[in-house]
Amino acid sequence: GTIQSPSLDDRINAFADPAQARAQLGAQALIGVSCYADLARARTAVAQGADYVAFGCFFPSVTKPEAALAPIDVLRAAKAALSVPLVAIGGITPDNAPMLIAAGADLVAVIGGLCGRDPAAQARSYAQRFTAAEAASFSTGA
């Protein structure tokens, strides 16, 4: 017989909320929810057990050119309102990542920025900017 398995996208999209995902995947799963620019959606996701929430698209993106842009202020509001890590996504480069980190992002999700000729060098560039932004936030008390 043939064994058929749904695609990963089908399995992920089958979960209506983080609580349902947790019930299916177990306590060890790291569950995040894309919230775009919607703080209410993020609050609901956290209340339902999300481990992190993602916001964006913050800048024009080559991987999702049709995505609506999110205001950076949503990160500031989310940082003040939520206790889970915040992920920023969408058009992120080593040059614009620090402003997202300064606004409250704990992590940046990068796709297009790591798919060039030298992904290792790009990853180092992001890491250096993240470390510099983190050091600046500690020194200013932000």
Which range marks the domain in which residue 131 is found?
30-140
- Does residue 12 fall inside a structural domain? no
Q: In the predicted model, what is the mean pLDDT of residues 39-44? A: 97
Beta partners for residue 53, in sequence order: 33, 86
103 within domain boundaries: yes
pLDDT value at residue 134: 63
In a domain, 8, yes or no: no
CA angle 98, 84, 49 (to 5 degrees): 145
Give how many domains the chain has, as a whole number: 1
Lay out the sheet containing 107-109: strands in order across. Answer: 32-34, 52-56, 86-89, 107-109
Backbone angles phi, psi at 113, to 5 degrees: -70, -10
Q: How confident is the model at residue 141 (pLDDT cuts 50, 70, 90)?
A: low
The answer, as to whether pTM is greater than 0.85, is no
Query: Does residue 2 lie within any of the structural domains?
Result: no
Residue 40 lies inside a defined structural domain of this protein: yes
Please indicate, yes or no, if residue 3 is contained in any of the structural domains.
no
Half-sphere exposure of 11 (CA within 13 A, CB side): 8
27-31, 39-43, 50-54, 130-134: which has the minimum mean pLDDT? 130-134
Show contacts of 59-65: CB within 8 Å, 24+ apart: 59/90, 59/91, 59/92, 59/93, 59/96, 60/91, 61/90, 61/91, 61/111, 61/112, 62/91, 62/112, 63/111, 63/112, 64/90
Segment 46-103, tens digit of pLDDT: 999 999 999 999 999 988 889 999 999 999 999 999 999 999 999 998 889 889 999 9
In a domain, 4, yes or no: no
In a domain, 92, yes or no: yes
CATH of the domain at 104: 3.20.20.70
